[in-house]
Amino acid sequence: MDELWQRYRPFWRPVLIGLGIFLVGLIAVHIVTPDPDDAAARAAAERSALTSLVLPKSDVGTILRANAEAFGESVKRLGTAFDPAAGGSDFVQHYVRQALIAAFARGGAGAEAFEGDAAAAAQALRDAERLAVERTALFRAGNPNVAFSSLLSDVWGALRTRANRADMDLEADLLGFGAVTTVSRADLDRRLANLALVARIVDVAIRGGARSLDTVDFENPRSAGPDAFLQEWPVKITLTAPATCVEAILDLVTDARQPTPVGTLVAQQPPRAKSATGLVELTMTLDSLAVKPAAALNLDN
Q: Dump pLDDT digits (tens) for 279-300.
A: 999 999 999 988 876 666 555 5
Asked if residue 57 is part of any domain, the answer here is no
Structure confidence by residue, pLDDT tens digits, 38-83: 767 777 777 777 777 776 777 777 777 777 677 666 666 666 666 7
Asked if residue 64 is part of any domain, the answer here is no
Asked if residue 259 is part of any domain, the answer here is yes
Asked if residue 14 is part of any domain, the answer here is no
Find the domain containing 116 and state its range. 91-291
Asked if residue 72 is part of any domain, the answer here is no
Q: pTM of this prediction?
A: 0.74
Asked if residue 13 is part of any domain, the answer here is no
Name the residue among 254, 246, 144, 132 with its Cα closest to residue 196: 132
Q: What is the mean pLDDT of residues 15-21?
A: 61
Cα–Cα distance, 9 to 17 (Å, whole number): 12
Asked if residue 25 is part of any domain, the answer here is no
Structure confidence by residue, pLDDT tens digits, 168-210: 999 999 999 998 989 998 899 999 999 999 999 999 999 999 9
pLDDT higher than threshold 60 for residue 124:
yes
Asked if residue 132 is part of any domain, the answer here is yes
Split into its structural domains, the chain has a count of: 1
Cα–Cα distance, 83 to 68 (Å, whole number): 22
Cα–Cα distance, 12 to 24 (Å, whole number): 18
Which CATH number characterizes residue 120's domain?
3.30.70.60
Cα–Cα distance, 114 to 37 (Å, whole number): 87
